């Protein structure tokens, strides 16, 4: 099982959306995603929960968690979410950064745009890593 970590500062928006899409679209026998943050918030932003519910992904029970060495152990890749100097560093794993706007305090229309950018990036990642669930390849 290949593990991909999506991380941002508060683990309350972008990284949660990314992991949600990844786990919905990836072949669950090949890969999974977890999300975490360097300074986890108390809860996922309500506007993020609403935006993801619109596309059939329920984040209402998702809990922000801290990115720890234990959580990152064995992960294949860390994708950070445009957190600049506050982005976490995990030695020994591949890394990418997706410079995406933070949905905190944004209107739903803006969060929807970020959500769609995330979906596009996740699909491209899944395709390039050969872990896209076949039924999702036409999306």
Q: For residue 138, what pLDDT is reported?
A: 54
Residue pair 110/94 in contact (Cβ under 8 Å)? The answer is: no
Q: Tell me the per-residue pLDDT of 9-66, one tens digit each, with 9 for 90 and over.
A: 899 999 999 999 999 999 999 999 999 998 999 999 999 999 999 999 999 999 999 9
Residue pair 4/74 in contact (Cβ under 8 Å)? The answer is: no
This model's pTM is above 0.85: yes
Q: Class of the 2-136 domain?
A: alpha beta
* In the block, residue with structure tokens 């990115």: 67
Q: For residue 108, what pLDDT is reported?
A: 97
List the domain boundaries for the chain: 2-136
Dist. CA 22–CA 108, nearest whole Å: 21
3-class SS of residue 30: coil
Dist. CA 36–CA 57, nearest whole Å: 18
């Amino acid at each position: 099982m290949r593990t991909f970590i999506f991380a941002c500062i508060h683990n309350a928006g972008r990284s949660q959306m990314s992991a949600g899409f990844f786990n919905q679209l990836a072949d669950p026998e090949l890969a999974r995603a977890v999300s975490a943050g360097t300074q986890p918030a108390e809860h996922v932003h309500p506007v993020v929960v609403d935006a993801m519910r619109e596309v059939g992904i329920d984040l209402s029970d998702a809990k922000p968690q801290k990115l720890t060495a234990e959580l990152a152990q064995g992960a294949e890749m860390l994708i950070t979410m445009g957190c600049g100097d506050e982005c976490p560093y995990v030695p020994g794993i591949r890394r990418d950064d997706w410079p995406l706007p933070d949905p905190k305090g944004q209107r739903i229309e803006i969060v929807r745009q970020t959500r769609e950018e995330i979906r596009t990036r996740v699909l491209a990642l899944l395709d390039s890593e050969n872990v896209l669930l076949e039924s999702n390849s036409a999306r």
